[in-house]
Amino acid sequence: MADMLTAKRGHHRWDWTDWAAHLYLLLGVLVMFGPVAWLGLSSLKSETGLNAFPPTLLPYEAATAPVEGRGNLRLYTIDSGDFAGQQLAEIRRVGIQAQMVDPKRPEVIIRLPVEGRTPVMRMRLATENYTALFSRFDFFRYFWNSSFITIVATVLTLLVNSMSAFVLSKYRFTGRESVFLVMLATLMIPPTIVLVPNYLIAAQLGLTNSLWGVIWPGVATPTGVFLLRQYMLTLPDELLEAARMDNASEWRIYWRIVLPLSAPALAVLAIFSVMWRWNDFLWPMVVLARSEVFTLPLALNSFQGELTTQWNFLLAMTVVTLLPVTIIFAFLQKYITQGIASAGVK
Amino acid sequence: MKILTAAYAAVMNLPERPMRWAQGRLRGGRLGWVFVAPNLAVFALFSFLPIVIDIVYATTGGAQLLPSERPYVGADNFASLLDCTNHLDPNTCTRDLFWHGIWNTLRFVVFQVGLMLGFSLLTALVLNRKIMGRGFFRAMFFYPVLLSPVVVALIWKWILQREGVLNAGFMAAGVTPVNWLLDANWAFFWSVFISIWAHMGFYTLILLAGLQAIPAEIHEAAAMDATPPLRHFRRITWPLLMPSVLVVFVLGLIRAVQMFDEIYVLTGGGPGTATTFIVQYIYKTGFADGVRQYGLAAAASLLLAGVLLVLTLLQLKGQRAKNG
């Protein structure tokens, strides 16, 4: 324990603290990623596979066999008695008795106790969970709503905040310090405490039940201004002066020189913005009441109230919701963690 | 890529003429106001004006949304929120749910922030060692941070349900299954656990950055002097990490006080009021109840705002200590 507390050790012989550290990390992976993996595996199970208790790791479902004149029936392996080892199909259950039939001899009905038989399971990926999202539910619309909000809001966030950051870092004008302080002061007004007034304002502007009602309030962010300003302060003023010599307008200097040079900071803010927007929940829930404007989190939340008996669809929806973020993270992992560590905000 | 660059240039060229015109008229850096105007407008409309409106709502009653139609009631909303025979027992309060929310939030903050700080610190210390596949482990601990709160809640709801994988594991070990989310204490436990699970990766990253910012020479010097590991941590690592710990602590507090999304989807605040937190009270009173009591919701918001104001000032102070 004691050695674990000290950083970077020089030698390479493994002692017990190395074992402890690796054990902790492996346990950590199990706890942190295991639940997500379990969700992914479960989402590929059919309804019968999901209802199995104790659950199986891989997607199994109850096997069925066609029986002449009776359609598809569930198969069971008989454990004991005259029919031990045989696979029979169940016609119906009456109390503790089951009427079974051999699929090859459909005319003979066999009565057996329900105990002493095990359902035949076979492995199958229930991809219909996913296809049904688009055929049975209006899933594409929610996906589109979430994407629209995320993309438009992120573009606006980058634009609006970088404009402020540009002049707050590169201009001298009366009131500059006050403007910066006023913007930072909004850190103390998080969305949770202005729910009611913002609802009134959105209603007055006709923004309720509109995706724009979700987009606008978060477009200006003190975090964004601060992050970009700090970065732009490091850009040399000579670049701007040179451009002014060439008679470039200030607007042109902003978007032709300052913005491209600030790309790393803009990327960090873009990652934040995408995260905030894609996952946003409380404010969209307040401002969007009609289901056709629902975002993915809102749709998931309303379905989990209605579909608790249909976990197969709910799990597939959850997977589709976390997939875009997961893919982005898989590719930009290093960039994202470094950006967040350096900015120290979320 | 070329198309994107062309589109960028085309769009950004649009304001060129009006901006040039403004530049010709505004001298001495006053053009700056044009650049900050959009930002200030959004802040004014959705941050500062709302605080004023919050006060208007908090001092008026009724279920009307339009402030002009609401009767003035003075401090009645606050009085009603704060009215208790015994403040320690929410059931003796006029607004019992508000007080359940306060006490639950307080209990939650103590456990969640304390435990999360501990686990984040431990994880950061482990990740700061020379370890094979460090990037992979760091990514694994961080991954849940990116997930939507609703997704987090559903992942765990699926695991914790009566016939879920956790109960299956318990049965296999010979323990009776528990209805995790229908038992008040267990529901509270899982609220704390899941919020730590979902957020600790972020705090781990900040602490890890703090650890890596400690110059290697300091550790080496200590190693030369054969400083015992425990003392090395207490005398060197911990004091130098303190600014980062403070930032993490206050940020964690600010977020924990406003906890809502995950828990609301996971338990709906139940069973009973066991996991109803203060923000859920605001949401429920203002938007989810049959009669929308905007006045009470706004008054509760302002009380929460007071707490957050103090915490944010602490954060700014901490960040200044860290950066300077």
* Interchain CB distance below 8 Å, A255 and B232: no
* Interchain CB distance below 8 Å, B39 and A183: yes
Indicate whether A13 and A161 sit together in one domain: no
Q: Is A107 a domain residue?
A: yes
Position A7 confidence tier, pLDDT thresholds 50, 70, 90: very low
Mapped onto helix, strand or coil, the DSSP state of residue A78 is strand
Give the number of C-alpha atoms closer than 13 A to the C-alpha of residue B127, restricted to the C-beta side: 28
Does B116 contact A at CB distance below 8 Å? no
Contact A196, B301 (CB under 8 A): yes
Indicate whether A178 and A219 sit together in one domain: yes
Q: Render pLDDT for A49-104 as a digit per residue (tens, 0 to 9).
A: 787 777 878 888 778 888 877 788 888 888 877 777 788 888 888 878 888 888 88
| Nearest CB neighbour to A196, from listed B54, B151, B260 | B54
Q: Is A56 a domain residue?
A: no
Alpha carbon B266 to chain centroid distance? Answer: 17
Distance CA(A134)–CA(B212), nearest Å, equals 47
Indicate whether A100 and A214 sit together in one domain: no
Residue A237 sits in a domain whose CATH number is 1.10.3720.10
Indicate whether A73 and A10 sit together in one domain: no
* Interchain CB distance below 8 Å, A304 and B312: no
How large is the average pLDDT for residues A195-203? 94
Position A2 confidence tier, pLDDT thresholds 50, 70, 90: very low
A–B CB contacts, 8 A cutoff, strictly below: 317
Candidates A286, A99, A310, A120; CA nearest to A210 is A286
Distance CA(A266)–CA(A159), nearest Å, equals 10
Question: Measured between CA atoms, how close is A332 to chain B, in angstroms?
Answer: 11
Q: What is the pLDDT of residue A271?
A: 87
Distance CA(A216)–CA(A142), nearest Å, equals 19
Q: What is the pLDDT of residue A8?
A: 46
* Interchain CB distance below 8 Å, A325 and B43: no
Please calculate the CA angle B173-A53-B155 and round it to the nearest 5 degrees.
90
Indicate whether A188 and A333 sit together in one domain: yes
> What CA–CA distances, in Å, run from A287 to A209, A300, B56, B106, B287?
6, 16, 20, 28, 10
Indicate whether A33 and A115 sit together in one domain: no
Q: Render pLDDT for A23-54 as a digit per residue (tens, 0 to 9).
A: 999 999 999 999 999 999 999 988 877 877 77
Q: What is the pLDDT of residue A343?
A: 67
* Interchain CB distance below 8 Å, B155 and A187: no
Residues from chain A contacting residue B172 (CB–CB below 8 Å):
54
Does B130 contact A at CB distance below 8 Å? yes
Percent of chain A with pLDDT over 90: 44
Residues from chain A contacting residue B245 (CB–CB below 8 Å):
none
| Beta-carbon count within 10 A of A320 CB | 18
Indicate whether A188 and A245 sit together in one domain: yes
Query: What is the phi/psi pair of residue B25, to 5°?
Result: -90, -30
Q: Is A314 a domain residue?
A: yes
Residues from chain A contacting residue B157 (CB–CB below 8 Å):
304
More confident residue, B23 or A123: B23
Q: Is A326 a domain residue?
A: yes
Q: Mutation target for A interface from B42, B116, B203, B309: give the one with most A CBs within 10 A.
A: B42
Number of domains in chain A: 3
Q: Is A8 a domain residue?
A: yes
Query: Which of B 72-91 lie inside 8 A of A, CB atoms?
Result: none
- The conformation of residue B175, written as its DSSP 8-state character, comes to P
Query: Tokens 């209990």 belong to which residue?
Result: B107
More confident residue, A54 or A203: A203
Q: Is A53 a domain residue?
A: no
Residues from chain A contacting residue B228 (CB–CB below 8 Å):
2
| Token digits of residue A174 | 């009366």
Instruction: Round the average pLDDT of chain A to a whole number and report it.
Output: 86
Indicate whether A103 and A219 sit together in one domain: no
Question: Measured between CA atoms, how close is B90 to chain A, in angstroms?
Answer: 22
| Beta-carbon count within 10 A of B146 CB | 21
Contact B262, B198 (CB under 8 A): yes
Query: Tokens 């979700």 belong to which residue?
Result: A214
Q: Render pLDDT for B237-271 as a digit per residue (tens, 0 to 9).
A: 999 998 889 888 988 998 999 999 999 999 999 89
CATH pick for B97-323 out of 3.10.20.30, 3.40.50.970, 1.10.3720.10, 1.10.150.530: 1.10.3720.10
Interface confidence, given as ipTM, is: 0.89
Indicate whether A172 and A308 sit together in one domain: yes
Question: Measured between CA atoms, how close is A303 to chain B, in angstroms?
Answer: 11
Query: Which of A 27-66 lie inside 8 A of B, CB atoms?
Result: 28-29, 31-33, 35-36, 38-39, 42, 51, 53-55
Where do the structural domains in chain B lie, given as residue ranges?
97-323
Question: Measured between CA atoms, how close is A198 to chain B, in angstroms?
Answer: 6
Contact A30, A24 (CB under 8 A): no
Distance CA(A37)–CA(B285), nearest Å, equals 37
H/E element, B127: helix B96-127
Distance CA(A306)–CA(B92), nearest Å, equals 35
* Interchain CB distance below 8 Å, B29 and A282: no
Q: Is A277 a domain residue?
A: yes
Indicate whether A241 and A338 sit together in one domain: yes
Alpha carbon A342 to chain centroid distance? Answer: 24
First to last CA, chain B: 41
Question: Measured between CA atoms, how close is A199 to chain B, in angstroms?
Answer: 9
> What CA–CA distances, in Å, run from B237 to B121, B162, B243, B317?
11, 45, 11, 22
Residues from chain B contacting residue A153 (CB–CB below 8 Å):
none
Residues from chain B contacting residue A2 (CB–CB below 8 Å):
228-230, 233
Indicate whether A324 and A280 sit together in one domain: yes
Contact A79, A116 (CB under 8 A): yes
Indicate whether A197 and A106 sit together in one domain: no
Domain, as residue range, for A156? 137-343
Residue numbers of chain B with a pLDDT score lower than 70: 322-324
